[in-house]
Structure 1
Amino acid sequence: MVLIMSNQVVSCSLDIMGGTPCFLGTRVPVQTLLDYLEGGESINDFLEGFPTVTRQQVLDFLERAASLAMAESV
């Protein structure tokens, strides 16, 4: 099973990290970005540690997450 968000930023596949949501084309879980941010690290810090993820992927993911949060709060 493969699940890809409509904006092509996140994918879930049982063949990649056991189905953990990852940035598309990488083995980097999106949770890792959230952990970095929660820990007070910057997007630049995250990107330095995970060069297979692009800045645009991070920005697109955060924009989508913010949109979903806003939609749920209505």
Structure 2
Amino acid sequence: MNRQDYIHADSQILDGKPVIKGTGLSIEFILEHLSDGWSEQMLIENYPRLTHESLLAVYAFMLQMAKDGLLYLPTYPLKQTS
């Protein structure tokens, strides 16, 4: 899978945050919903332009960020979100 087929960033869309092409949904938005307990099926049902393949691209994108050292555990306490 080529994640560039599904994810792009444009400074005119959400201040350049990476989004799923054709949806305007940011990677951050997708991950927030997944971390809140949403399943892939719930996302796809609520956002019909999402596909299983586009969600796989999100995972591939995050994996590449981790491999590139762009994701790390900070040495200070994280702020709790509600």
Asked if these proteins are the same fold (TM beyond 0.5), I'd say yes
What letter corresponds to residue 57 of structure 2 in structure 1? D
Confirm whether residue 41 of structure 1 aligns to residue 35 of structure 2.
no
For these two proteins, the number of residue pairs brought into alignment is 69
Matching residue within 24, 49, 52 for 1:52 = 49
Q: CA deviation at 1:56?
A: 0.3
**Is this contact kept in 1: 2:13–2:24, CA < 8 A?**
yes
| 1:6–1:53 Cα change, 3 Å | closer
Per-residue deviation, 1:63: 2.5
Which of the two has greater strand per residue?
A: 1
Q: Structure 1 regions of 5+ residues with no counterpart? A: none
In structure 1, which of residues 10, 15, 22 is the aligned counterpart of residue 19 of structure 2? 22
Instruction: Look up the match of 2:66.
Output: 69
Structure with the larger helix share: 1
- Comparing 9-18 with 35-44, greater Cα deviation is found at 9-18
Q: Secondary structure at the match of 2:60?
A: helix
CA distance in 2, matches of 1:7, 1:28: 15
Q: CA deviation at 1:61?
A: 1.8
TM-score by length of 2: 0.65
Tell which deviates more after alignment, 30-39 or 57-66: 57-66
C-alpha distance in 2 between matches for 1:58 and 1:13: 19
- Equivalent-residue separation in structure 2 for 1:14 and 1:55 (angstroms): 26
